Chain A
Amino acid sequence: MAERALPLTSVQEKRLQSLGNLVASLKKGVTYAILVSGALLAVSPLIWMISTSLMSLGEAQGVRLVPSTIHFENYTAAWQEADLAGYFINSVKITLITLVGQLLASVLAAYGFAKIKFPRRDLIFGVMLSTIMIPAMVLIIPNFLTVTWLGRIGPIRWINNWPALTIPFMGSIFSIFLLRQFFAQIPDELFDVAQIDGAGHLRFLRQVVIPLSKAPLMVIVVLSFMGSWNALAWPMLVTNSPKWRPIAVGLMNFVDEAGQRTNHMMAGAVITIIPILILYFITQKQFTESIARSALKG
């Protein structure tokens, strides 16, 4: 092509260049416009929520987009009158108990599957992994019966108490899968060195593997947090009083009861969303990257 083209004068060249620049920057502008409008669509419902949560009832019912005066008392209303405070604390407790159990079980199992050799290891892992396919609706009925039975015969109640809300979620194959992938990348030579120093598997896990795996552990914390915060069907079944009811169920009841009080409802939604968003902003880089990586490998 270059052979056939006639030599350009310097003026023509400059013109062509500036035209090219114009096209490039126009393209860039269009790209940015699309990306920005996408981002706006993604976050505008949340911005609307915050704005409405600060309005008076009249404004929230009307067509205003921005509150004329800030009404923080909506938050106190949601927090105290609807007792979202109680549900919030329940959810924090449920999340923490689930998290501790899940981390312990998953770290041990992931290490076992990644670093220790034993007969039928891959078969057991495969069977565990296949449970991802099973829809929750198949499990929910028998698990409800199991949990009722355990509560009747055991030393503590399960229904309407923390065990039913936490213990079934402690065994998470997805957490094990994520951690196993990470642990498998840690070179075996490290363990050989540790073994010469007299360390067993447990000490190697505690002193070498866990300090190296802060990123995937963080991801599991966020995922487990999201799981507890999102769960609705199961807590609806196994709680029948506000004593242990988590915030998802509390907010749903509030949304049903609050009727026209949109401002209070949105304040309740803000209260529910904030902890998750904070956690996400702290960990977002590792979190999004781990999610993407696990998806591409799985």
Chain B
Amino acid sequence: MFQSEVLFAGKQGRTLRESLTGYAFILPAVTLIFTFGIFPVGFALYVSLQKWRLKRGDFIGLNNYVAAVDNLAFIVIFFLALGGFVLLWITIKKIRRQADEHGESPWVFALPGLAYAATVLSFLRWLIILLPEVLDIAGKVIGIERTQALFFRFLGEALLAESVVPAFGLFVVFFLLSAFAASWTTRRNNNPRRIRYQLQFAISWLAGTVAGLLAWFTWREVGRAYIAAAEIGSELEIWPQVATVGSGVILLVIAWFVWRSSHTQTSDRSFLFRLLVAILFMLGGWLLINELPILLAAGDKDLWSGLKVTIFYSFGTVPFQLAISLFLAVLLFQKMAGSELFRMLYFIPYVTPFVASAAIFRQLFSVRPASPINQILKLFGLKSQQWLQEPTGIFKMLAETFQFDLPAWASGPSLALVVIMIYSIWVYVGYDTVIYVAGLGNISKELMEAAEIDGAGRWEVFRFIVFPLLSPTTYFLSLIAVIGTFKAFSHIWVMRHEFSLRTVDTLSVTIFLEFFDKVRYGYASALAFVLFAIILGLTFINNRIQGARVFYG
């Protein structure tokens, strides 16, 4: 009691007390989000590197990823290693620039930075070695009465297991070293930027080590793959593939940079720059177009068909959804009697539980000739359709009514998927409309009125003032909608029928089937990471392309 009063006395004491209160307030939520939202990402990565069917099996490296995307796995990991080295180079450059600015030598801080990086890495290594031991506790307690004492005994055993103790020792050594290094630099050096330098060095050491490890891992895995291929007498072309795809991507990236800088050039040079862009783009694109289909064909068929379905689903829902809701929002925004009521009605599909509304759509689009939608077709003199049980592509079906025959690649999304798209649009139009109405409310009335006084028609006001000023809203909605199509699960699960022959199985559904039906935990985790990588890539591209065009008036 006395001690705590001393601790919390004075201005510093009050700050300390305030900080501790803050941590106490956020602790429950942070613990929950960490346990079920952040830790699982690392855990899933761990699972994806094992042979894991119901029970944990052997460590098999990249095999799950190779089974999913074939040699693309090696290419991606090679690029991750490359990215690590680039990060290393960038941070070192940053450190040197800062040091030059202040005319000082930063290199003395590299040593404590190394100690911190080693501490982090040895801690992670300890966790990875400890994890299976801790997981095995669950197997040990089967059949015996569970008590707290027993759990702690097993936990103690896990912590003191043969392989775990040296890893922990290494961590402790590095931890003490970093503590020593930290206090040593603080005493020796009173540079105001010392903490920043140390952190930057720690980051560059981490990036370098991780990149080195990844490069080594790629080298080993590729070597193993070559040996395994030689045993069964087949030939591999991993390194050539890495080279071609790599140079293709690099050419495209360079083309992008040149294109960006061409805007700042004078008109003559800008033309030359654009020509260069075109050449680079075509070269890179040609390399990729030649190589990627070979790679994709060798990967998991279910994965690529899932990706194709997801892309169809995105393109078939997001633009329509946004166009319809923008139109409705503009009409609603005129502040007429009853607009509140309309807004409320439009929002209803979004709040309706997915399983229930999907069950309704399953009945509306039932195969029975008496089902409501088939009856509507009959009103127009058309024949009944199979809807959710129809695997044939929609373009192919349309072409057939005009006696055309389309090749398989041009047949488009299946009719079953089209029904699911209609459902999706029905659900999300209301949500998008409400947000568009709010976005319209943020646009200043004066601007619109000024344009009208200048003689702009209603369409022109919309095209040149309202629409550009709405671009942040459109950007937000399209990002949310595209990511939503990649996450979509419940309604597809309710509406999928075996007769649709997996033409409605998006990536999420494919992953769930691998996990739920085939109990291939490791492989399903690898597929989930592929999905995660695609979502991250999409967000990044969206940020770059659309984010640059969004007009934040």
Question: Taking beta carbons and an 8 Å cutoff, which residues of A are in contact with B?
Answer: 28, 31-32, 34-35, 38-39, 41-43, 45-46, 48-49, 52, 61-63, 104-106, 108-109, 111-113, 116-119, 121, 124, 127-128, 131, 133-143, 145-146, 148-149, 152-155, 167-168, 170-171, 173, 176, 200-201, 222, 226, 229-233, 236-237, 248, 251-252, 255, 262, 265-266, 268-269, 272-273, 276-277, 280, 284, 288-289, 291-293, 295-296, 298
The reply to whether the CB of B183 lies closer than 8 angstroms to some CB of chain A is no
Q: What separation, in Å, do the CA atoms of A111 and B24 have in the docked complex?
A: 11
> Restricting to B457-484, which residues have a CB under 8 Å from any CB of A?
472-473, 476-477, 480, 483
Most B-side CB within 10 Å, residue of A35, A146, A268: A35
Flag if B512 contacts A137 (CB, 8 Å).
Answer: yes
A211 shortest CB reach to chain B, Å? 19
- A110 (CB) vs chain B CBs: closest residue: B29
Contact among B364, B370, B512 for A233, CB-based, below 8 A: B512
Q: Per-position contact with A for B500-522: 1 when CB-CB < 8 Å, else 0?
A: 00000001100110011000010
Inter-chain contact B361/A138, CB cutoff 8 Å: no
Chain A residues in 8 Å Cβ range of B148: 155
Pairwise interchain contact A146-B35, C-beta atoms closer than 8 A: yes
Which of B25, B344, B348, B529 has a CB less than 8 Å from the CB of A138? B529
A255 to B359 alpha-carbon distance, docked (Å): 7
Smallest Cβ-Cβ distance to B375: which chain A residue: A63
Question: Which residues on A sit within 8 Å (CB–CB) of B437?
Answer: 292
Q: Is B494 an interface residue (CB 8 A)?
A: yes
Q: Is the interface of B mostly helix, strand, loop or mixed?
A: helix
Contacts of A233 in B (CB 8 A): 489-490, 493, 512
Residue B138 is within 8 A (CB to CB) of chain A in the complex: yes
Considering the complex, give the chain B residue whose CB is closest to the CB of A116. B22
Could you tell me if A42 and B346 are in contact, using CB atoms closer than 8 angstroms? yes
Shortest C-beta distance, B426 to chain A (Å), equals 7
Q: Do A142 and B37 form a contact, CB below 8 Å, given A232-B355, A255-B359, A288-B434?
A: no
Q: Is B525 on the interface with A (CB-CB < 8 A)?
A: yes
Cross-chain contact B430 with A42 (CB below 8 angstroms): yes
Q: How far is the CA of A148 from the CA of B137 in the complex (A)?
A: 12
Residues A35 and B359 in contact, CB atoms below 8 Å apart: no
Across-interface contacts of A237 in B (CB, < 8 A):
516
5 contacts between A and B (CB under 8 A): A46-B352, A108-B25, A137-B512, A251-B359, A269-B357
Asked if A135 contacts B487 (CB within 8 A), the reply is yes
B217 at the interface (CB under 8 A from A): no
CB pair A39–B345 under 8 Å, yes or no, is yes
Question: Complex: how many Å from CA A45 to CA B381?
Answer: 23
Is B531 interfacial (CB-CB < 8 Å)? yes
Q: Given A28-B336, A35-B332, A118-B18, A252–B355 Cβ distance below 8 Å? A: yes
Q: Given contacts A133-B536, A230-B353, A248-B490, are A284 and B40 in contact (CB under 8 A)? A: no
Q: Beyond A136-B508, A266-B363, list 20 extra A-B contacts (CB 8 Å).
A: A35-B331, A39-B345, A42-B349, A109-B30, A112-B23, A112-B25, A117-B22, A131-B37, A135-B535, A140-B515, A171-B30, A171-B37, A176-B29, A233-B490, A252-B359, A269-B360, A272-B353, A289-B438, A291-B431, A291-B434
> Contacts A251-B359, A288-B344; is A124 near B26 (CB within 8 Å)?
yes
Cβ contacts under 8 Å, B476 to chain A:
295-296, 298
Flag whether B396 is at the interface (Cβ < 8 A).
no
Contacts of B44 in A (CB 8 A): 138-139, 141-142
Q: Which of A104, A131, A226 contacts B38 (CB 8 A)?
A: A131
Q: Which of A173, A230, A255 lies in contact with B362, CB distance below 8 A?
A: A255
B211 at the binding interface (Cβ < 8 Å): no
Once bound together, how far apart are the Cα atoms of A137 and B486, in whole Å?
10
> Shortest CB–CB separation between residue A204 and chain B, in angstroms?
11
Q: Mark B14-56, 1 if CB is under 8 A from A, else 0.
A: 0000111111111011111101111111011001000000000
CB pair B26 A108 closer than 8 Å:
yes
Contacts A109-B26, A173-B33, A276-B351; is A232 near B493 (CB within 8 Å)? Answer: yes
**Quick check: is B108 within 8 A (CB to CB) of the other chain?**
no
With A42-B345, A43-B348 as contacts: A272 and B435 at CB distance below 8 Å = no
